[in-house]
Amino acid sequence: MRILGIDPGYGIIGFGLIELVGVEWEMVDFGSITTESDQTMPERLLQIYEDIVTLIEELKPDLFAIEELFFVQNITTGLQVSEARGVMLLAAAQYDLPIYAYAPNEIKMSITGYGQADKSQVQKMVQSLLNLKTKPKPDDAADALAIALTCAFDRVSL
Protein backbone atom coordinates (compact mmCIF):
# COMPACT_ATOMS: atom_id res chain seq x y z
CA MET A 1 0.00 0.00 0.00
CA ARG A 2 1.40 3.37 -1.07
CA ILE A 3 -0.05 6.74 -0.06
CA LEU A 4 0.82 10.04 -1.73
CA GLY A 5 0.31 13.00 0.59
CA ILE A 6 -0.01 16.49 -0.87
CA ASP A 7 0.31 19.84 0.91
CA PRO A 8 -1.42 22.13 -1.60
CA GLY A 9 -0.25 25.54 -2.67
CA TYR A 10 0.59 27.28 -5.91
CA GLY A 11 4.14 28.55 -5.26
CA ILE A 12 5.31 25.51 -3.30
CA ILE A 13 3.48 22.19 -3.19
CA GLY A 14 4.78 19.58 -0.79
CA PHE A 15 4.57 15.88 -1.56
CA GLY A 16 5.41 12.77 0.41
CA LEU A 17 5.01 9.10 -0.43
CA ILE A 18 4.87 6.43 2.25
CA GLU A 19 4.58 2.68 1.86
CA LEU A 20 3.43 -0.08 4.15
CA VAL A 21 6.28 -2.55 4.61
CA GLY A 22 5.21 -5.42 6.83
CA VAL A 23 3.48 -3.65 9.69
CA GLU A 24 5.39 -0.35 9.48
CA TRP A 25 5.07 2.73 7.32
CA GLU A 26 8.25 3.79 5.55
CA MET A 27 9.08 6.97 3.69
CA VAL A 28 9.66 6.32 -0.02
CA ASP A 29 10.08 9.85 -1.35
CA PHE A 30 9.34 13.45 -0.47
CA GLY A 31 10.01 16.90 -1.83
CA SER A 32 8.31 19.87 -3.36
CA ILE A 33 7.01 21.19 -6.63
CA THR A 34 7.63 24.88 -7.19
CA THR A 35 6.31 27.41 -9.65
CA GLU A 36 7.85 30.75 -10.47
CA SER A 37 6.22 33.98 -9.33
CA ASP A 38 6.65 35.50 -12.80
CA GLN A 39 4.45 32.79 -14.34
CA THR A 40 0.80 33.59 -14.99
CA MET A 41 -1.71 31.66 -12.90
CA PRO A 42 -2.79 29.52 -15.88
CA GLU A 43 0.89 28.65 -16.52
CA ARG A 44 1.33 27.73 -12.86
CA LEU A 45 -1.80 25.57 -12.88
CA LEU A 46 -0.67 23.72 -15.99
CA GLN A 47 2.77 23.08 -14.48
CA ILE A 48 1.24 21.88 -11.20
CA TYR A 49 -1.11 19.55 -13.06
CA GLU A 50 1.72 18.11 -15.18
CA ASP A 51 4.01 17.70 -12.15
CA ILE A 52 1.30 15.91 -10.12
CA VAL A 53 0.63 13.60 -13.09
CA THR A 54 4.37 12.86 -13.28
CA LEU A 55 4.45 12.07 -9.54
CA ILE A 56 1.48 9.73 -9.87
CA GLU A 57 2.99 7.95 -12.86
CA GLU A 58 6.43 7.59 -11.27
CA LEU A 59 5.46 6.85 -7.66
CA LYS A 60 2.35 4.73 -8.38
CA PRO A 61 0.37 5.49 -5.22
CA ASP A 62 -2.70 3.50 -4.20
CA LEU A 63 -4.29 6.41 -2.29
CA PHE A 64 -4.13 10.19 -2.69
CA ALA A 65 -4.33 12.30 0.49
CA ILE A 66 -4.54 16.09 0.46
CA GLU A 67 -5.01 18.83 3.02
CA GLU A 68 -8.37 20.58 3.15
CA LEU A 69 -8.23 24.30 2.69
CA PHE A 70 -8.78 26.42 5.74
CA PHE A 71 -9.89 30.03 6.03
CA VAL A 72 -7.16 32.45 5.05
CA GLN A 73 -7.07 36.16 5.65
CA ASN A 74 -6.05 36.99 2.08
CA ILE A 75 -8.97 35.92 -0.10
CA THR A 76 -6.91 36.18 -3.31
CA THR A 77 -4.35 33.73 -1.97
CA GLY A 78 -7.13 31.41 -0.82
CA LEU A 79 -8.71 31.42 -4.26
CA GLN A 80 -5.39 30.73 -5.97
CA VAL A 81 -4.66 27.80 -3.64
CA SER A 82 -8.19 26.51 -4.34
CA GLU A 83 -7.52 26.62 -8.07
CA ALA A 84 -4.23 24.77 -7.65
CA ARG A 85 -5.84 22.20 -5.35
CA GLY A 86 -8.51 21.65 -8.00
CA VAL A 87 -5.99 20.65 -10.66
CA MET A 88 -4.30 18.32 -8.16
CA LEU A 89 -7.64 16.63 -7.48
CA LEU A 90 -8.30 16.41 -11.21
CA ALA A 91 -4.98 14.64 -11.76
CA ALA A 92 -5.72 12.11 -8.99
CA ALA A 93 -9.26 11.53 -10.28
CA GLN A 94 -8.00 10.90 -13.81
CA TYR A 95 -5.90 8.04 -12.42
CA ASP A 96 -8.89 6.68 -10.45
CA LEU A 97 -7.08 7.16 -7.16
CA PRO A 98 -9.21 7.18 -4.02
CA ILE A 99 -8.93 10.73 -2.65
CA TYR A 100 -9.00 11.57 1.05
CA ALA A 101 -8.90 15.10 2.46
CA TYR A 102 -7.99 16.14 6.00
CA ALA A 103 -8.30 19.42 7.89
CA PRO A 104 -5.11 20.88 9.40
CA ASN A 105 -6.24 20.27 13.00
CA GLU A 106 -7.23 16.69 12.09
CA ILE A 107 -3.70 16.09 10.75
CA LYS A 108 -2.09 17.58 13.85
CA MET A 109 -4.31 15.46 16.10
CA SER A 110 -3.52 12.30 14.16
CA ILE A 111 0.23 12.86 14.20
CA THR A 112 0.84 14.45 17.63
CA GLY A 113 -2.34 13.75 19.58
CA TYR A 114 -2.93 17.51 19.89
CA GLY A 115 -4.98 19.43 17.32
CA GLN A 116 -3.19 22.72 17.99
CA ALA A 117 0.37 21.37 17.70
CA ASP A 118 2.92 23.62 16.04
CA LYS A 119 4.88 22.79 12.88
CA SER A 120 8.01 21.72 14.75
CA GLN A 121 6.03 19.22 16.86
CA VAL A 122 4.45 17.74 13.73
CA GLN A 123 7.85 17.53 12.00
CA LYS A 124 9.43 15.84 15.01
CA MET A 125 6.65 13.24 15.15
CA VAL A 126 6.82 12.60 11.37
CA GLN A 127 10.56 12.04 11.79
CA SER A 128 9.93 9.63 14.66
CA LEU A 129 7.01 7.75 13.07
CA LEU A 130 8.95 7.19 9.83
CA ASN A 131 12.30 6.50 11.57
CA LEU A 132 14.04 9.31 9.67
CA LYS A 133 17.51 10.50 10.69
CA THR A 134 16.54 14.17 10.24
CA LYS A 135 13.38 16.22 10.00
CA PRO A 136 12.08 16.27 6.44
CA LYS A 137 12.65 19.58 4.63
CA PRO A 138 11.15 21.74 3.27
CA ASP A 139 8.28 22.22 5.70
CA ASP A 140 5.78 21.61 2.88
CA ALA A 141 7.22 18.12 2.32
CA ALA A 142 7.08 17.35 6.04
CA ASP A 143 3.44 18.46 6.03
CA ALA A 144 2.76 16.20 3.03
CA LEU A 145 4.25 13.22 4.86
CA ALA A 146 2.04 14.06 7.86
CA ILE A 147 -0.99 14.11 5.53
CA ALA A 148 -0.01 10.70 4.11
CA LEU A 149 0.43 9.28 7.63
CA THR A 150 -2.96 10.68 8.67
CA CYS A 151 -4.53 8.86 5.74
CA ALA A 152 -2.65 5.69 6.69
CA PHE A 153 -3.90 5.83 10.27
CA ASP A 154 -7.42 6.66 9.09
CA ARG A 155 -7.84 4.24 6.18
CA VAL A 156 -5.47 1.30 6.49
CA SER A 157 -5.95 -1.54 8.96
CA LEU A 158 -2.78 -3.28 10.04
Whether residue 62 lies in the annotated active site: no
From 7, 19, 51, 143, the catalytic residue: 7
pLDDT tens-digit map of 5-20: 999 999 999 999 999 9
Whether residue 67 lies in the annotated active site: yes
pLDDT tens-digit map of 38-57: 999 999 999 999 999 999 99
Sheet architecture: strand order including 99-102: 24-34, 12-21, 2-7, 63-67, 99-102
Helix H segments across the chain?
41-59, 75-94, 104-112, 119-129, 139-155
Q: Distance between CA atoms of 15 and 6, rounded to whole angstroms?
A: 5
Residues 95-111: what's their mean pLDDT? 97
CA distances from 108 to 99, 111, 115 (A): 19, 5, 5
From 19, 51, 67, 143, the catalytic residue: 67
CB neighbourhood size of 87 (10 A):
21
Residue 141's pLDDT band (cuts 50, 70, 90)? very high
The CATH fold assigned to 2-155 is Nucleotidyltransferase; domain 5 (3.30.420)
From 19, 51, 140, 143, the catalytic residue: 140
pLDDT tens-digit map of 18-31: 999 999 999 999 99
